[in-house]
Amino acid sequence: MLSVFLNKIFSLNFANLLNAIGLDFEILSSYTFIVVCLGTMILATVAGMVGTITVLKGQSLIGDAIGHSSYPGIIIAFMIGMSLDSVSLMIGAIISGTLAFIIIQFIDKNSKLNLDAVLAVILSAFFGLGMVLKSFIQGHPIYGKVPQGGLSNYIFGQAAFIRTIDVQLILAVAIPSLLILFLFYKEFKIFVFDEVYAKSIGLNSTVMYVLLVLITMSVIATGLKLVGAILISSFLIVPGITALQWSNRFSHVLIIAAIVGSLSAFVGTYISSVYAGMSTGPCIIVVMSGLAFISMFISPKGLLANWLRRRKYINDLSKSLID
Partner 1 sequence: MIYQNLLLTKISDFLNYNQQMLLTLIVTGIACSILGCFLVLNKLSMLTDALSHSILLGIVLAYFVTKDLNSPLLLIGAGIFGVFTVYAIGLLSKTRLVKNDDAVGIIFPLFFSLAVILISTFARNVHLDTDIVLMGQVIMIPLNNMTVFGVELPKALFYMLIILLINLIFVAVFFKELKVSSFDPEFATLAGFSSGLLFYGLMTLTSFTAVAAFDAVGAILVIALFVGPAASAYMLTKSLKKMLLVSIIFSILNSTLGFYLAIVLNVSISGMIAVITGMTTFMTVLLNRQGIITAIYLRYKNRKEFRLDLLIMHLGNHEDQEDAEFELGFATIKDHLSWDKETAERRLNRLIDQGFVQRNYEKKIFCLTEKGRLRYDMIKVDYGM
Binding site for partner 1 (CB under 8 A): 55, 58-61, 63-64, 68, 103, 107, 110-114, 116-136, 139, 152, 155-156, 230-231, 233-234, 237-238, 241, 244-245, 275, 277-279, 281-283, 285-286, 289, 292, 296, 301-303
Q: How far is the CB of 262 from partner 1 (least distance, A)?
A: 18
Query: CA triplet 208, 43, 287: central angle to 5 degrees?
Result: 115
Q: How far is the CB of 9 from partner 1 (least distance, A)?
A: 38
Q: How far is the CB of 85 from partner 1 (least distance, A)?
A: 22
If the CB atoms of residues 22 and 277 are measured against partner 1, the closer one turns out to be 277
Q: CB of 24 within 8 A of CB of 150?
A: no
Q: How far is the CB of 171 from partner 1 (least distance, A)?
A: 25
If the CB atoms of residues 92 and 228 are measured against partner 1, the closer one turns out to be 228
Distances (CA, A) of 89 to 82, 85, 129, 258: 10, 6, 16, 27
If the CB atoms of residues 122 and 203 are measured against partner 1, the closer one turns out to be 122
Q: What is the 3-state secondary structure (H, E, C) of the chain?
A: CHHHHHHHHHHHHHHHHHHHCCCCHHHHCCHHHHHHHHHHHHHHHHHHHHHHHHHHCCCHHHHHHHHHHCHHHHHHHHHHHCCCCHHHHHHHHHHHHHHHHHHHHHHHHHCCCCHHHHHHHHHHHHHHHHHHHHHHHHCCCCHHHCCCHHHHHHHHCCHHHCCHHHHHHHHHHHHHHHHHHHHCHHHHHHHHHCHHHHHHCCCCHHHHHHHHHHHHHHHHHHHHHHHHHHHHHHHHHHHHHHHHHHCCCHHHHHHHHHHHHHHHHHHHHHHHHHCCCCCHHHHHHHHHHHHHHHHHHHCCCCHHHHHHHHHHHHHHHHHHHHC
Q: How far is the CB of 319 from partner 1 (least distance, A)?
A: 28
If the CB atoms of residues 64 and 166 are measured against partner 1, the closer one turns out to be 64
Q: How far is the CB of 158 from partner 1 (least distance, A)?
A: 11
Q: CB of 225 within 8 A of CB of 157?
A: yes
If the CB atoms of residues 92 and 282 are measured against partner 1, the closer one turns out to be 282
If the CB atoms of residues 33 and 154 are measured against partner 1, the closer one turns out to be 154
Q: How far is the CB of 150 from partner 1 (least distance, A)?
A: 13
If the CB atoms of residues 169 and 241 are measured against partner 1, the closer one turns out to be 241
Q: What gap in Å lies between CA 292 and CA 36, rounded to an integer?
A: 23
Q: How far is the CB of 95 from partner 1 (least distance, A)?
A: 17
Q: How far is the CB of 146 from partner 1 (least distance, A)?
A: 18
If the CB atoms of residues 174 and 238 are measured against partner 1, the closer one turns out to be 238
If the CB atoms of residues 28 and 115 are measured against partner 1, the closer one turns out to be 115
